[in-house]
């Protein structure tokens, strides 16, 4: 599972630290799950004035999303003990838990604070640069 900032690191900023992750997704070795709301958030974020200096190619970013993502329906809300303090980020946690994702890769502090409580449920919440490619072969 990739949050919006991780997708921006990969597809807009071409951040080298996400290259292994990008390769794993692009090669099909790693499945990228998202729901329609996540695509809407990405599209909205690409239009932010703050990103203008990077001149994001919104059409390319969204077509990459459409081509590579395994689209899921909007998930049910996670158990109360795993509530994100940022309601906009709750959907990433909910989708990851609903579909048994192994990783949620994010820069978001509100999600990262839940890492310890998510781990017993089989979900590792990590910064993208801390993700180590497992043996996917």
Calculate the alpha carbon distances from 27 to 22, 23, 46, 136 in Å.
8, 6, 25, 11
Domain-embedded: residue 135: no
What's the number of domains the chain is made of?
1
Calpha distance 91→51 (Å, rounded):
23
pLDDT tens digits, 29-58: 999 999 999 999 999 999 999 999 999 999
Calpha distance 112→131 (Å, rounded):
13
Q: Domain holding 126: CATH number?
A: 3.40.50.1010
Q: What is the pLDDT of residue 137?
A: 44
For residues 113-136, average pLDDT: 88
Domain that holds residue 103: 4-130
Domain-embedded: residue 136: no
Neighbours of 41 (CB within 10 A): 19
Domain-embedded: residue 100: yes
* DSSP string for residues in 42-95: HHHHHT-GGGGGG---HHHHHHHHHHHEEE-PPPPPPPGGG--SSGGGHHHHHH
Q: What is the pLDDT of residue 77?
A: 77
Domain-embedded: residue 75: yes
Domain-embedded: residue 137: no
Domain-embedded: residue 63: yes
């Amino acid at each position: 599972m990739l949050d919006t900032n991780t997708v921006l690191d990969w597809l807009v900023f071409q951040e080298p630290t996400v290259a292994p992750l990008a390769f794993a997704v692009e090669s099909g070795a790693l499945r990228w799950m998202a729901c329609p709301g996540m695509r809407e958030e990405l599209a909205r974020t690409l239009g932010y004035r703050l990103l203008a200096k990077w001149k994001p190619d919104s059409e390319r970013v969204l077509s990459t999303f459409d081509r590579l993502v395994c689209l899921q329906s909007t998930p049910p809300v996670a158990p109360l003990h795993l509530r994100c303090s940022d309601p906009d980020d709750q959907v990433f946690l909910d989708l990851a838990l609903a579909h048994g994702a192994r990783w949620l890769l994010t820069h978001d502090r509100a999600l990262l604070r839940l890492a310890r409580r998510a781990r017993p449920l089989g979900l590792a919440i990590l910064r993208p640069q801390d993700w180590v490619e497992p043996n996917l072969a």
